[in-house]
Amino acid sequence: MPLTKPQKEVLTCDKRFRVLISGRRFGKTFLAINELAKFGRFPNKKIWYVSPSYRQSKNICWNMLKDRIIKHKWAKKINEADLSIVLKNNTVIQLKGADNEQSLRGVGLNFIVLDEFADIKPQAWYEVLRPTLSDTGGHALFCGSPKGFNFAYDLYTRDDPEWQSFKYTTLEGEQVSQEEIEQAKNDLDERTFQQEYLATFVNYAGIIYYNFDRNTHIIDQHETNSKVIHIGMDFNIDPMVAVVSEKVNNDLIIYDEIQIWSSNTDEMVQEIKSRYKDNHIIVYPDPASRQRKTSAGGFTDLAILKNAGFEVKARSQHPLIRDRINAVNSKLKNANGMSSLFVTKSCKNVIKSLERQIYKEGTSVPDKDSGFDHFNDALGYLVEYLFPLRREFKPSEPTRWS
């Protein structure tokens, strides 16, 4: 069966790492099998096909691959028990599941396909699979549909001469008719349709800062106008973080971020002073800093900030997490569609955190396991203090989880 035009574009690209993002039923797995066979023409190679689970690999790839190999009479030995095929030229093609990380500890692979890779844990690639390509100079092909701004997005946007990315809609794959796609459009909410059929990276259900939008809120750079800077701060030891902003009328512009690992408040103070020597600095810390002592000297975090000459503004009571979240979301976009919070593109961690922190599934409890909470906490203390929500409005419940 001939490949479609977009499949051929991916096929003919000779970059070492290729990332193919598409809508569902574009023909990714079809192409992947084609690629396994193509690399299989070279003798004495080791080739893997990896999907999120062993079962999935078996279901979506095994029969198609086998048929193809058998049809061309290339097989020397087919092993159903471990889903491997030894070709007559001694090249081995094997199917794996990323659910069993132990089984991925291979050596010297020449080619790997990672299918549905948005559902594969990043560590499986970075820590386990990527190293197996090093000695051999092996190649990899990533296939998948978008899944929010996760690891797949990182690889898709990777800017590196060894990498090439491709993105196609379901329609461009020519396997699904326009009518069927129109039907799906009726059945799905807009975001799901965009993600699943148009292969658009969209914020997914459960996202906390759902008003954040790269096109609106990220600015290239910011020229500071004022000597007064406002810094939101969160006191973890790992990491201790701060967001640096300037207030321009009603707008708040975040233009620097500080993240220090295994640190303490004294170190953070040093860092701020070294970056901003001549400024009037107002810090908006976690109100718990009134009591908490992160550093050894016996002073509270709040006292350390004051002793450093900073003006410190913290509520006497801890603001509700929900109030902080609502305050940030309102600054991102209020009910009239106005945005008044902006982030320069250099603040990569702030952006990532806004884009990615989610609620724990089915709850209104922000997830803290992914590490995106620190910058958002720091930002929340700052925004909530400077722009508190008017209490006569009852903020609406976030309802984005499914």
Ligand X SMILES: Nc1ncnc2c1ncn2[C@@H]1O[C@H](COP(=O)(O)OP(=O)(O)O)[C@@H](O)[C@H]1O
Interaction with ligand X in 30-89: which residues (CB under 6 A)?
30
Q: Which of 6, 18, 19, 29 binds Mg ion (CB under 5 A)?
A: 29
Residue nearest to ligand X (CB): 27
Cβ distance to ligand X smaller for residue 143 or 314: 143
The stretch near ligand X (CB under 6 A) out of 28-36, 199-207, 208-216, 281-289 is 28-36
Q: Which of 15, 25, 147, 322 binds ligand X (CB under 6 A)?
A: 25
Task: Answer yes or no whether residue 181 interacts with ligand X by CB under 6 A.
Answer: no
Cβ distance to ligand X smaller for residue 169 or 364: 169
Contacted entry of Mg ion, ligand X, none for residue 4, CB cut-off 5 to 8 Å set by kind: ligand X
In the complex, least distance from residue 291 CB atom to Mg ion, rounded to whole angstroms: 54
Q: Whole-angstrom Cα distance, residue 256 to residue 243?
A: 6
The stretch near Mg ion (CB under 5 A) out of 22-30, 81-89, 185-193, 228-236 is 22-30
Cβ distance to Mg ion smaller for residue 192 or 236: 192
Task: Answer yes or no whether residue 7 interacts with ligand X by CB under 6 A.
Answer: yes
Task: Answer yes or no whether residue 147 interacts with ligand X by CB under 6 A.
Answer: no
Contacted entry of ligand X, Mg ion, none for residue 260, CB cut-off 5 to 8 Å set by kind: none
Task: Answer yes or no whether residue 24 interacts with ligand X by CB under 6 A.
Answer: yes
Cβ distance to Mg ion smaller for residue 119 or 301: 119
In the complex, least distance from residue 336 CB atom to ligand X, rounded to whole angstroms: 41
Residues β-bridged to residue 20: 143, 166
Q: Which of 175, 192, 339, 364 binds ligand X (CB under 6 A)?
A: 175
Residues touching ligand X, count (CB under 6 A)? 13
In the complex, least distance from residue 177 CB atom to ligand X, rounded to whole angstroms: 12
Q: Residue numbers of the site for ligand X (CB under 6 A)? A: 1, 3-4, 7, 22, 24-30, 175
Q: Residue numbers of the site for Mg ion (CB under 5 A)? A: 28-29
